[in-house]
Amino acid sequence: QVQVAESGGGLVQPGGSLRLTCEADGNIYTSTVMGWYRQPPGQGREMVATITGGERTRYAESVKGRCSISRTNGRKTMYLELHNLKIEDTTVYYCLVRRGSADYWGQGTQVTVSA
- pLDDT values of the chain reduced to their tens digit, one per residue, 115 residues: 899 999 999 999 999 999 999 999 988 887 789 999 999 888 999 999 999 988 899 999 999 999 999 998 777 899 999 999 999 999 999 999 999 899 999 999 999 999 9
Counting other chains too, the contacts that 28-32 makes at CB distance below 8 Å and 24 or more residues apart are 28/2, 28/53, 28/74, 28/75, 28/76, 28/97, 28/99, 29/53, 29/99, 30/54, 30/75, 31/99, 31/100, 32/75, 32/97, 32/98, 32/99
